[in-house]
């Protein structure tokens, strides 16, 4: 009896204790640590970079600008003396050994060049320099000078053999049309290596954006697509969930007008003149930064019809805006794009 009572008391105590522990546990199971939002704006890669990061850790927005400037200085800027690309270009005519990273960059650029039939072409360095849209006081170059440089243009002139590259003398590589996208790829790798970062929205120069993870309120990302004829206005908004790369190429960033003609910085590698596909902008959405950036340039040169097979090959979606303000959106993204600018129409 006594023993029975003791057993009963012990059992009851145990139950109470377990209940208590469970209670304690319930109290201890505080809501998962909340991610805080950090914002920063900086100037890097010759442009404005805006950064939003949601994290349960410390503010790391300051890590992004040096990551991008490092990418430029170390590898992909042909203008920065000391970059690997400057060294490759200086060595034209001689086989040059590459770092693994540089070999991967050139390989990706060559793949899009080939798949786009040369609409995206990474050998436009001297032609772009001749047009000199960056200067702000560019003029139409003499036809003979354009013609003289065309023989040095052509992605098929680059021979990449594993980790060795060979350029013919006179040909130079320009990764300007894919560089910001590589920047977004590098940012994605940075974010993925840090589990405390739950979400991020980072934009380079208005033209390359990465969405990563989720916002703290669980709402999807909203990306504004620029109105190609109103620098302060928006064409519409893209709604995206998770990790995506969005890149826009347009005729409104670097251009000048002469005799009623708009000369812009996206060149047709066939002619050496600004691409005349009848577009004002193309926005590409895909799962790769370099891919989105290179495709937006390629699709701008190709125009909507010729771009469809290329986009499909890369599992990418696009928004095309033509000079008559008609907007064409590929099927896979139509439900996620809302046109808001009143003077444009969906076709």
Residue 179 φ/ψ, nearest 5 degrees: -65, -45
CB contact at 8 A, 176 and 12: no
- 211 vs 296 by CB, closer to Mg ion: 296
**176 touches which of Mg ion, ligand ADP, none (CB within 5 to 8 A by kind)?**
ligand ADP
Residue among 116 and 249 whose Cβ is closer to Mg ion: 249
Q: Which does 236 bind (CB under 5 to 8 A by kind): Mg ion, ligand ADP, none?
A: none
Q: Are 45 and 205 in contact (CB under 8 A)?
A: yes
The answer to the question of residue 177 lying near Mg ion (CB under 5 A) is yes
Q: How far is the CB of 247 from Mg ion (least distance, A)?
A: 6
Binding residues vs ligand ADP (CB under 6 A): 120-122, 124, 128, 174, 176-177, 180, 207, 249, 253, 265-267, 269, 293, 297, 301
Q: Which stretch binds Mg ion (CB under 5 A): 66-74, 213-221, 242-250, 271-279?
A: 242-250
How far is residue 157's CA from residue 279's CA, in Å, rounded to a whole number?
28
253 binds, among ligand ADP, Mg ion, none (CB under 5 to 8 A by kind): ligand ADP
Q: Which is nearer to ligand ADP, 203 or 211 (CB)?
A: 203
Find the binding residues for Mg ion in span 291-320 (CB under 5 A).
Answer: 293, 296-297
CB of 219 to ligand ADP, least distance (A): 28
State which residue has the least CB distance to Mg ion: 297
Query: Which does residue 266 bind out of Mg ion, ligand ADP, none, counting CB within 5 to 8 angstroms by kind?
Result: ligand ADP
Shortest Å distance, C-beta 88 to Mg ion:
20
Tell me how many residues contact Mg ion (CB under 5 A): 5
Q: How far is the CB of 249 from ligand ADP (least distance, A)?
A: 3
Residue number, 268 or 317, with CB nearest to ligand ADP: 268
Task: Compute the least distance from the CB of residue 179 to Mg ion, in Å.
Answer: 8
Cβ proximity to Mg ion: between 171 and 247 the closer is: 247
8-state DSSP, 46:
T
Q: Which range in 77-85, 95-103, 172-180, 264-272 contacts Mg ion by CB under 5 A?
A: 172-180
Specify the residue, 57 or 206, whose C-beta has the smaller distance to Mg ion.
206
DSSP string spanning 103-171?
HHHHHHHHHHHHHTTTSS-TT-HHHHHHH-GGGS---PPPHHHHHHHGGG--GGG-EEETTEEE--TT-
Q: How far is the CB of 64 from Mg ion (least distance, A)?
A: 20
Q: Are residues 116 and 277 in contact, defined by beta-carbon separation less than 8 angstroms?
A: no
Q: How far is the CB of 35 from ligand ADP (least distance, A)?
A: 30
- From CA 81, how far away is CA 158, in angstroms rounded? 21
For residue 240, give the nearest of 205, 203, 290 by alpha carbon: 203
Residues 277-296, interacting with Mg ion (CB under 5 A):
293, 296
Residue 133 CB: number of other CB atoms within 10 A? 18
State the nearest-atom distance from the C-beta of 327 to Mg ion, in Å.
19
Residue pair 275/262 in contact (Cβ under 8 Å)? The answer is no
Q: Report what 317 binds from ligand ADP, Mg ion, none; CB cut-off 5-8 Å by kind.
A: none
CB 255, CB 229: distance < 8 Å: no
User: Are residues 224 and 237 in contact, defined by beta-carbon separation less than 8 angstroms?
Assistant: yes
Characterize the bridge pairing of strands 36-44 and 159-161. unpaired
Q: Which of 176, 329, 183 is nearest to 267 (CA)?
A: 176
CB atoms within 10 A of CB 272: 20
The torsion angle over the Cα atoms of residues 312, 315, 319 and 322, rounded to 10 degrees, is: -30
Residues that bind Mg ion (CB under 5 A): 177, 249, 293, 296-297
């Amino acid at each position: 009896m006594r023993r029975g009572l003791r057993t009963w008391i012990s059992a009851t105590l145990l139950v109470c204790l377990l209940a208590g522990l469970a209670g304690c546990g319930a109290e201890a199971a505080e809501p998962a640590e909340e991610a805080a939002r950090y914002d920063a704006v900086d100037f890097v890669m010759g442009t404005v970079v805006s950064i939003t990061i949601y994290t349960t850790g410390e503010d790391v927005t300051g890590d992004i600008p040096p990551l991008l400037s490092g990418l430029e200085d170390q590898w992909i800027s042909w203008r920065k003396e000391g970059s690997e690309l400057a060294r490759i270009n200086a060595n034209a005519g001689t086989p040059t050994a590459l770092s693994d990273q540089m070999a991967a960059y050139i390989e990706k650029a060559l793949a899009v060049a080939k798949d786009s039939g040369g609409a995206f072409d990474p050998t436009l360095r001297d032609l772009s320099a001749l047009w000199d849209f960056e200067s702000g006081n560019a003029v139409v170059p003499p036809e003979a000078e354009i013609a003289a440089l065309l023989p040095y243009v052509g992605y098929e002139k680059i021979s990449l053999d594993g980790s060795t590259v060979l350029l013919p003398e006179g040909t130079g590589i320009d990764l300007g049309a894919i560089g910001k996208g590589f920047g977004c790829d590098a940012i994605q790798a940075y974010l993925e290596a840090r589990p405390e970062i739950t979400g991020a929205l980072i934009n380079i120069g208005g033209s390359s954006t990465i969405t990563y993870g989720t916002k703290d309120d669980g709402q999807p990302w909203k990306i504004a697509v620029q109105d190609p004829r109103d620098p302060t206005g928006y064409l519409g908004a893209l709604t995206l969930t998770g990790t995506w790369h969005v890149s826009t190429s347009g005729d409104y960033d670097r251009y000048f007008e002469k005799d009623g003609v708009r000369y812009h910085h996206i060149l047709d590698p066939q002619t050496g003149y600004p691409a005349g596909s009848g577009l004002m902008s193309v926005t590409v959405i895909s799962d790769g930064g370099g891919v989105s950036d290179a495709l937006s340039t390629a699709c701008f040169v190709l125009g909507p019809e010729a771009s469809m097979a290329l986009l499909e090959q890369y599992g990418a979606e696009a928004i095309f805006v033509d000079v008559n303000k008609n907007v064409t959106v590929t099927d896979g993204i139509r439900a996620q794009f809302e046109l808001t600018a009143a003077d444009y129409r969906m076709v």
